[in-house]
């Protein structure tokens, strides 16, 4: 099998997307399987046929607006059998676009203060979380409204209930991995953030 041609797309508002995308690229560069291309801010990259050469889209973006051409280009590309990895604020992109939210599998509601909290592994049999045990992170915990049909891989406690931290799902023939960790560059440097990112990108970028 050839390399996974991967687009790391970063931009938007609020978050340090430059710092986070640098850490994402650094992590994925540790694996030989990925051929990496980076695009910053230019949402027209998503318009068909601009994504045709990519097997995988790794997405770090916050809020913003997406046009119909951009939305259709992205969603149809993934549905054709490609991979999508959404990091942290990817669940808070394009608030006015329910189709995008449906693809990701959930969307941001709120977050408690930036703090240390424990991540629990829900599915230790999945290749993304295999061998992982509970670990602590210092990060911004995203509380999400999510589709209960997603396969939750990891979660964390919030106000007495478990909130998802990572999940997988399908979108047409494509594979989706969402990881709620990664508010800033230091959070993206956590060894298990990097491990789950690498494994999630391999899983999503490999045809089912």
Domains of the chain, first to last: 4-205 (3.40.50.880)
Q: Given its phi and psi angles, is residue 90 left (phi above 0), alpha (psi -120 to 50 degrees) or beta?
A: alpha
pTM above 0.85, yes or no: yes
| Phi then psi dihedrals of residue 108, to 5 deg | -65, 135
Each residue of 51-75: pLDDT tens digit? Answer: 999 999 999 999 999 999 999 999 9
| pLDDT above 90: residue 2 | no
- Name the percent of the chain lying above pLDDT 70: 100
DSSP at 141 = P
pLDDT of residue 1: 67
């Amino acid at each position: 099998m050839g390399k996974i041609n991967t687009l790391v797309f970063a931009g938007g508002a609020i978050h340090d997307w430059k710092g986070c995308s640098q850490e994402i690229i650094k992590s994925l560069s540790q694996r030989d399987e990925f051929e990496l291309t980076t695009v910053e801010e230019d949402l027209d990259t998503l318009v068909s046929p601009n994504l045709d050469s990519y097997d995988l889209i790794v997405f770090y973006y916050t809020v913003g607006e997406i046009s119909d051409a951009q939305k259709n280009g992205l969603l149809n590309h993934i549905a054709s059998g490609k991979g999508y990895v959404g990091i942290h604020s990817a669940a808070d992109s394009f608030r006015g676009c329910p189709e995008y939210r449906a693809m990701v599998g959930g969307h941001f509601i709120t977050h408690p203060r930036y703090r240390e909290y424990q991540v629990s592994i829900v599915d230790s049999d999945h290749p993304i979380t295999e061998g992982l045990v509970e670990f602590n992170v210092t990060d911004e915990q995203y509380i999400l409204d999510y589709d209960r049909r997603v396969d939750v891989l990891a979660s964390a406690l919030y106000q007495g209930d478990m909130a998802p931290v990572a999940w997988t799902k399908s979108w047409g023939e494509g594979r989706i991995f969402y990881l709620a960790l990664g508010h800033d560059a230091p959070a993206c440097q956590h060894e298990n953030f990097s491990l789950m990112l690498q494994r999630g990108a391999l899983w999503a970028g490999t045809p089912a």
